[in-house]
Chains A and B, each alone.
Chain A
Amino acid sequence: MSVTPREPKIVAFCCNWCSYAAADLAGITRLRYPAVLRILRVPCSGRVHPQLVLRALQRGADAVLVSG
């Protein structure tokens, strides 16, 4: 078992029209949030196949955020 504290890693599937824009807005307004998030642009949260979520968890993501 690993003992070194690991940075959490979050993969976010963001809808281009909603949360991706919200993430842009967060940047534009210079908000701060932890740098543990990797954003992936999807055309709609409906595009996020469970397979994609599983894949992210398999490949080392500690959490997945799907947001529309």
Chain B
Amino acid sequence: MLVLSGRGQEFANRVSLESGQPVQQCYQCGKCTAGCPAASFMDYAPHQVIHLVQLGLEEVVLSCRAIWVCTSCYTCTARCPCRIEVARIMDILRARARRKGLHRGQRAALFADLFLDSVRRHGRLHELELGARWGLSTGQPWREADLAAGLVAKRKLRLRPPRIKGVEEVRRIFREAARLEEGEHG
């Protein structure tokens, strides 16, 4: 049972402001959900995610699985009759969930962390490294072994990490972006 009142407009307004999307305008037609490739794997369908935002149910929406199963394919955004960029709202929600530490345990968040960590260290992604760390972090090191073997056989996995000259610049981007976002929302 969800208790609705006493939340005010704050959360919905913040999400609207951050995303530039008129969240309250959504009239729950469900077209986003109907076209969503991942909706059947979500706990809340995309239109419900928006509805939770409208109702100010911040904890529910930030800890839901749906925002992490989202594939960022923009189908919802392309089709929304209210011209709400739903995918953009998903971005905002994921970033907010991270700031509140509610992303822990979400596989997609872990994947993003590992991916970006590789980028931070080398300036570019090192696929082999990402694959290996993913396997270790999820406790299923051999899960992708068949694919990895195939890739190695076709020399489609670079063994040595890439390295760019401007790697410091890239690290600076990570640092500064994190600091700025922290400042903006902290």
Do A and B have CB atoms closer than 8 angstroms in the complex?
no
